[in-house]
Amino acid sequence: MSSLLIKNGRVIDPASGLDGPADVLIEDGFIQGVGRGLDRAGAVVFDAAGLVVAPGFIDMHVHLREPGIEHSETIETGARAAAAGGFTSICCMPNTVPVNDNATVTSYIIERARQCAAVNVFPIGAITKNSEGEALAAIGSMKNAGIVAISDDGRPVMNARVMRRAMQIARSFDLPVIDHCEDLNLSAGGDMHEGVPSTRMGLRGIPASSEDVMVARDILLAESTGARFHVAHISSCHSLNMVKFAKQQGLSVTCEATPHHFALSDADITAYDSSYKMKPPLRTECDVAAVIDGIVSGTVDAIATDHAPHPGSEKMQEFEKCPFGITGLETALGLSLEKLYHTGKISLRRLIELFTTGPAGVLGLERGRLAVGAPGDVTIFDTESAWTYDVNRSFSKSKNSPFHGRHFRGGPVATIVAGAIVWRQDTVGT
């Protein structure tokens, strides 16, 4: 019997409302107790004095690139980066090679994760076969194999009729539909948000309307089908307003925001540096403010990274040739503390919600809380220590981050999965 006792921390568990000094005891992979003055003979003790002890963080949107694109990332390296970012569970998008559009691929990912991943990995299945936007994937069998949602992330379903049918099927299997909302005709050829900076740099723009029209379409389809619809990486002011409206109507509509969409605007882009190239693109300062407002007001349900590794050889090119996407697992908490907590926009409890009960609620995962009997996943972080992100020391196979060299105040200290410490910061303050 293995025991881990986390002592003297400030335990914040949004699910139970607990916020105060307490110890957490994990035995054989499950939470055994949360309370003051816990003791257990033979337990490994983790002294969390001065630190925040939270339920294990969940990142509901990552790209692990395995199978098929292992030169960018593997389940093993992506999971390590997740652990170093304080995440105990990650959900991987299906755009691998082959696409995760059937139970065999789903089972492969789950088995690989069981062998080599430091954190829990939950696959997301494709909506359509090969994510081609036409015939529906084997959604029911993937659900049985272990997927937690469906999405054609990166290759959005353009045909509204197909999306409507997907929502009907998803509802039948009680799965949320996650859409990367982008009208590919409106965004075609674009490299960054359409605005003053794109006009100045002579780069083709991706208008905010390319996101907005799809959010509108999907909300209407969600209403008519009764499906649970989740907007991936929401980035525009209008889209946030529409999600807010949908929630007010009582629809099962949720959304996630990425740290880069609340930390950076298109005015922050270093000209032609592909570490700033992603979809949706960094939008205007107004949109950034709207994302933060959505986080504060509750329109945004989760913070997700959209960790999208690409090797240097692909990012070291002319801007218009580079693939979209940046890594994000290791900087998510630091950015959230900087932009949301230290600015006084939200409390620590709300911040933790966005990483725990928020995504768990969207996906229906029995995680993200410190209740007795729950999986022994814990994220320990501090809010004050100064550190600098060095992308060259990243656990990810890829180094495409715009946050290299950024100074942070507060970040992850230790990551515990099923009672085992899977990552621990070497020294605080490096």
Which string of x and - marks every residue 274-313 that binds other proteins (by CB under 8 A)? Answer: ---------------------------------------x
Q: Provide the 10 A C-beta neighbour count for residue 144.
A: 13
Site string (378-417) toward other proteins, x via CB under 8 A: ----------------------------------------
Q: Answer yes or no whether residue 44 interacts with other proteins by CB under 8 A.
A: no
Using the rule CB under 8 A, which residue among 159, 199, 343, 388 binds other proteins?
199
- Sheet with 57-62, strands from edge to edge, namely 57-62, 87-92, 120-123
Q: Residue 201 CB, nearest distance to other proteins (Å)? A: 6
Shortest Å distance, C-beta 281 to other proteins: 14
Q: Is 168 exposed, middle or buried (0-12, 13-18, 19+ CB in 10 A)?
A: middle
Cα angle 198, 204, 206 (rounded to 5 degrees) comes to 85
C-alpha Rg value of the chain to the nearest Å: 20
Residues that are catalytic: 306
Least distance to other proteins from the beta carbon of 207, Å?
10
Q: Which run of H or E residues covers position 164?
A: helix 160-172
Q: Which is nearer to other proteins, 70 or 314 (CB)?
A: 314
Applying CB under 8 A, does 426 fall inside the site for other proteins? no
Site for other proteins in 307-326 (CB under 8 A): 313, 316-321
Between 92 and 278, CB nearer to other proteins:
278
CB of 196: closest distance to other proteins in angstroms?
A: 5
196 near other proteins, judged by CB under 8 A: yes
Residue number, 248 or 270, with CB nearest to other proteins: 270
Amino acid at 364: G
Does a cis peptide bond (omega within 30 degrees of 0) precede residue 98? yes
Q: Which is nearer to other proteins, 199 or 224 (CB)?
A: 199
Q: Closest separation between CB of residue 205 and other proteins, Å? A: 8
The span from the first CA to the last CA of the chain, in angstroms, equals 35
Of positions 203, 215, 288, 416, contacts other proteins by CB under 8 A = 203
Pick between residue 326 and residue 348 the one whose CB is nearest to other proteins: 326
- Identify the residue among 30, 245, 272, 324 touching other proteins (CB under 8 A): 272
The reply on whether position 202 binds other proteins by CB under 8 A is yes
| Residue 99 to residue 177: CA distance in whole angstroms | 17
Under 8 Å between Cβ of 151 and 180: yes
Q: Which stretch binds other proteins (CB under 8 A): 54-62, 200-208, 287-295, 297-305?
A: 200-208
What phi-psi label fits residue 345: left (phi over 0), alpha (psi between -120 and 50 degrees) or beta?
A: alpha
Helix (H, G, I), strand (E, B) or coil at 244: helix
Compare residues 115 and 313 and give the one whose CB is closer to other proteins.
313
200 binds other proteins (CB under 8 A): yes
DSSP bridge pairs for 56? none
Question: Which residue, 260 or 315, has its beta carbon nearer to other proteins?
Answer: 315
> Which positions from 117 through 136 interact with other proteins, judged by CB under 8 A?
none
288 contact partners, CB below 8 Å, separation of at least 6: 261, 262, 263, 264, 265
Work out whether 248 is an interface residue with other proteins (CB under 8 A): no
**Distance, CA of 120 to CA of 309 (rounded, Å):** 19
Q: How far is the CB of 239 from other proteins (least distance, A)?
A: 21
Amino acid at site 284: T
Measured CA to CA in angstroms, residue 383 lies from 289, 329, 380 at distances of 23, 17, 10
Backbone angles phi, psi at 132, to 5 degrees: -90, -5
- How many chain residues bind other proteins (CB under 8 A)? 23
267 contributes a contact to other proteins by CB under 8 A: no
Residue-wise over 221-245: b if at least 16 C-beta within 10 A, else e?
A: bbbebebbbbbbbbbbbbbbbbbbe
Please report how close the Cβ of residue 318 comes to other proteins at its closest, in angstroms: 4
Kindly state the smallest distance separating residue 319's Cβ from other proteins, in Å.
5
Q: Write each residue from 152 to 191 as x if it is in contact with other proteins (CB under 8 A), else as -, in one continuous string.
A: ------------------------------------xx--
Are 310 and 398 in contact, with CB atoms under 8 Å apart?
yes
Closest to other proteins by CB, 23 vs 194, is 194
- The contacts of residue 104 (CB under 8 Å, 6+ apart) are none
Residues that bind other proteins (CB under 8 A): 188-189, 194-196, 198-205, 271-273, 313, 316-321
